[in-house]
Amino acid sequence: MALDVSLLRGSFETVLARQPDLTHVFYEELFSRHPEARGMFSPERMGQQEQMLAEALVAVMDHLEEPTWLSSNLPELGAKHMDLGVTEEMYGWVGESLLATLAKVAGDDWTPALQSAWTEAYGAVSGLMLEGHSVAQGA
């Protein structure tokens, strides 16, 4: 399963150009769909959280063609998220909210090919993060 890196990067650039506050919009979507997630975030630190997510998204996009980077950094990130109380179920919440946010911002430019590419990419990223989640749990 090879990711369509050029399609992912091109669509990410388009979405960021249309909505520079993408992570803010993402969290609004997440909290709308899953209000129970709001309690995991301090209102005073949301700006910082949005910035950290933006940096993580950019880092992953920058390293999509580097499996060594992905397989060493993403499991570690998953372990950190487990320590913060993130459950496996929440990865699904994040995925559906991220895809919905991207589709909303892309508007008419969101195609079945983009939906498929982003679904596959999120599955790969979350899968690597869940590996670290499982290791941290002692599974």
- The average pLDDT across 98-115 equals 97
* Tens-digit pLDDT profile for residues 31-56: 999 999 999 999 999 999 999 999 99
DSSP secondary structure code for residue 125 in this structure:
H
107 vs 1, which has greater pLDDT? 107
DSSP secondary structure code for residue 84 in this structure:
T
CATH number at residue 59: 1.10.490.10
* Tens-digit pLDDT profile for residues 78-104: 999 998 999 999 999 999 999 999 999
- For the CA atoms of the chain, what is the radius of gyration? 15
Domain region containing 87 = 5-137
Number of domains in the chain: 1
**Residue at 18: amino acid letter:** R
Statement: residue 139 has pLDDT above 60: no
DSSP code per residue over 13-26: HHHHHH-TTHHHHH
Statement: residue 137 has pLDDT above 90: no
Q: Can you tell me whether residue 139 is helix, strand or coil?
A: coil
Residue 125, number of CB atoms within 10 A of its CB: 23
- pLDDT the model gives residue 2: 81
- pLDDT the model gives residue 1: 52
User: Three-state SS across 31-67?
Assistant: HHHCHHHHHHCCHHHHHHHHHHHHHHHHHHHHCCCCH
Statement: residue 61 has pLDDT above 80: yes
Ramachandran category for residue 85: left, alpha or beta (phi over 0 → left; psi -120 to 50 → alpha): left
- pLDDT the model gives residue 133: 76
Q: What is the mean pLDDT of the chain?
A: 94
